[in-house]
Amino acid sequence: MSYRSNADLGGQELRGAIIPEPEGELFHAPWEPRAMALTLAMGATGLWTIDMSRAARETLVNYGDLGYYEIWLAALEKLVSESGALIESAIRPPRLLRAESVAATLARGTPFERAPVRAARFAVGDTVRTRVDRPAHHTRLPGYARGKTGVVARVHGTHVFADTNASGLGECPQWLYTVEFDERELWGDGLPVQRSTISVDAWEPYLEPV
């Protein structure tokens, strides 16, 4: 059974018009910043990874009917329930994010680069093809870029592999590349030519040589 990612909308027809919002307009209701704060605070506990959090959002059955922070809140409810955090006898979270540490913690971020244990399979300028199959788990390879041919534009080193990290299988660091695709390779020849190049960051297991 294939994995359904509701966030993988590239190349699909969407319902209704896309309405641009003013730059810097972050919230639309008083509860939204609270939902963001709760999500950040619970994510910092270490009860789940950022990739588990993304996967929880993308598997919401009503994803398309929810607003941005409604998706965050629904996914948080799902993660809290599945992690056992609501059980009275649950173990104490590995970490706590205290109010006085929020600014410094957010500014520091979370590094996901890891030391390589083997040489990279590809180099800048190599022609590669992305895998065509739709895996039965969370993945960061967009559906519109599957089975497509592009050129490696940048090698980023080894990073935590989102596919395994989302499934609770560990970090399994993999080489990460920026692959550039001609617009016609992704969208076909039926659209007006924009002379665009689309860049996709892709881990090594997503790629094969051409």
pLDDT at 1 over 50: no
Closest CA to 194 of 205, 207, 181, 203: 181
Residue 90: predicted pLDDT: 62
Domain that residue 65 falls in: 31-108
Give the chain's largest Cα–Cα span.
60
Token pair for 171: 């970090």
Q: What is the mean pLDDT of the chain?
A: 89
Last residue of a domain, one of 93, 108, 123: 108
Q: Indicate the number of domains in the chain.
A: 2
Summarised one tens digit per residue, pLDDT across range 136-194 is: 778 899 989 999 999 999 999 999 999 999 998 999 999 999 999 999 999 887 766 67
Closest CA to 151 of 173, 126, 174: 126
Is residue 40 located within the same domain as residue 126? no
Percentage of the chain lying above the pLDDT 90 cut: 56
CATH number at residue 197: 2.30.30.50
Q: pTM value?
A: 0.85
Number of other residues whose CB lies within 10 A of the CB of residue 155: 16
Judge whether 162 lies within some domain. Answer: yes
Residue 89: predicted pLDDT: 61
Number of other residues whose CB lies within 10 A of the CB of residue 111: 8
Instruction: Look at 4 and 94; give whichever has higher pLDDT.
Output: 94
Residue 7: predicted pLDDT: 66
Q: How many angstroms separate the CA atoms of 162 and 49, rounded? A: 10
Summarised one tens digit per residue, pLDDT across range 61-103 is: 888 889 999 999 999 999 999 888 877 666 678 888 888 998 8
Last residue of a domain, one of 108, 135, 151: 108
Number of other residues whose CB lies within 10 A of the CB of residue 39: 18
Token pair for 14: 């969407």
pLDDT at 12 over 80: no
| Structure-token match 């590094």, residue found | 111
Residue 3: predicted pLDDT: 60
